Amino acid sequence: MNPFEELVKIVARLRGPDGCPWDKEQTHKSLTPYAVEEALELEEAIHNEDWENVKEELGDLLFQSVLHSQIASENDQFNIDDVIKTLNTKMVQRHPHVFADVKVQNSAEVLKNWEEIKSQEKPKKVTSLFDIPATFPALLRSQKIGKRTQRLDFDWSSSDEVLVKLREEFAELEEAYASKDIHKMNEELGDLLFTAAQMARHLDLDAEKSLRQANEKFVGRFTKMVKSHKNFENLSRDQKEAAWNKVKSEE
């Protein structure tokens, strides 16, 4: 028995009559948050180049796939073999430049062909031009929305134009703030963030990654600042500001 077959049997036993109460209670919907969490933990491990942890997190993601497949098998929907067969077929069909005689010049052509093949594989009633899950992180979804409109030739021609729009959105947020209209402030803040995501796209940056780095930079500076003062909470606002600037200058 190879390791994968052993994993399938382990998951089936976990869901069996004498299995684990928690595993037996799970459904596709109840497991959804865990798949998201495992993917994010894998991303962090890769970012940290912690390869031992990458190995573990890949295993956790694989466990989710097998567990979902086991649940589906119990419901006579599909099984893990069906999942793998579907994946194999899709990979072969979407890589005709590898498995057929299609010629491509670069990765841009590969992605173009991928989207065309994908649309042919899944003919369906179009209810939205944006088949991007609403559950995606908001900045990531904003960038994907921008990429979709770009393909339809609805986009700024340069990052300079996006920068002008960013300033415009910030001015509108200032106006909303002056009016103290909370609903208007919410709307204008959203417009500003959406435009910032498009700026990232035009600069070939990942908005999620940029914000994540900003978060970690702030956390690192703040932690260092607090640890350098025994009673940080008792400092005045001016003293805290000075401490913050000191940490920044040291970097």
Q: Do 110 and 145 sit in the same domain of this protein?
A: no
Q: Do 155 and 230 sit in the same domain of this protein?
A: yes
Q: Do 226 and 191 sit in the same domain of this protein?
A: yes
Q: Do 101 and 173 sit in the same domain of this protein?
A: no
Q: Do 85 and 15 sit in the same domain of this protein?
A: yes
Amino acid 132 reads I
Mean pLDDT of 130-152: 88
> Which one is predicted more confidently, 232 or 118?
232
Amino acid 198 reads Q
Confidence of residue 27 (pLDDT cuts 50, 70, 90): very high
pLDDT of residue 178: 97
Two tokens, residue 173: 């947020």
> CATH number, domain at 168?
1.10.287.1080
Q: How far apart are CA 226 and CA 219, in angstroms?
A: 11
**Residue 126 located in a structural domain:** no
From 96, 121, 146, give the residue that closes a domain.
121
Q: Do 74 and 13 sit in the same domain of this protein?
A: yes
Residue 8 has pLDDT above 90, yes or no: yes
pTM over 0.75: no
Q: How far out from the chain centre does Cα 250 lie?
A: 33
Q: Do 98 and 170 sit in the same domain of this protein?
A: no
**Residue 127 located in a structural domain:** no
**Residue 52 located in a structural domain:** yes
**Residue 130 located in a structural domain:** no
Q: Hey, how many other C-beta atoms are within 10 angstroms of the C-beta on 153? A: 6
Q: Do 113 and 147 sit in the same domain of this protein?
A: no
**Residue 93 located in a structural domain:** yes
From 91, 121, 151, give the residue that closes a domain.
121
**Residue 18 located in a structural domain:** yes
Helix (H), strand (E), coil (C) string for 10-74: HHHHHCCCCCCHHHHHCCHHHHHHHHHHHHHHHHHHHHCCCHHHHHHHHHHHHHHHHHHHHHHHH
From 92, 121, 150, give the residue that closes a domain.
121
Percent of the chain scoring above 70 in pLDDT: 97
Q: What is the pLDDT of residues 164-183, one digit of tens each?
A: 999 999 999 999 999 999 99
**Residue 63 located in a structural domain:** yes
Residues of the domain holding 77: 3-121
Q: Do 96 and 174 sit in the same domain of this protein?
A: no
Q: Do 104 and 51 sit in the same domain of this protein?
A: yes
Q: Do 149 and 93 sit in the same domain of this protein?
A: no
pLDDT of residue 127: 54
Q: What is the pLDDT of residues 50-76, one digit of tens each?
A: 999 999 999 999 999 999 999 999 999
**Residue 129 located in a structural domain:** no
**Nearest-10 Cα torsion for 50, 53, 59, 65:** -70
Q: Do 142 and 228 sit in the same domain of this protein?
A: yes
Number of domains in the chain: 2
First-to-last alpha carbon distance for the chain, in angstroms, is 54
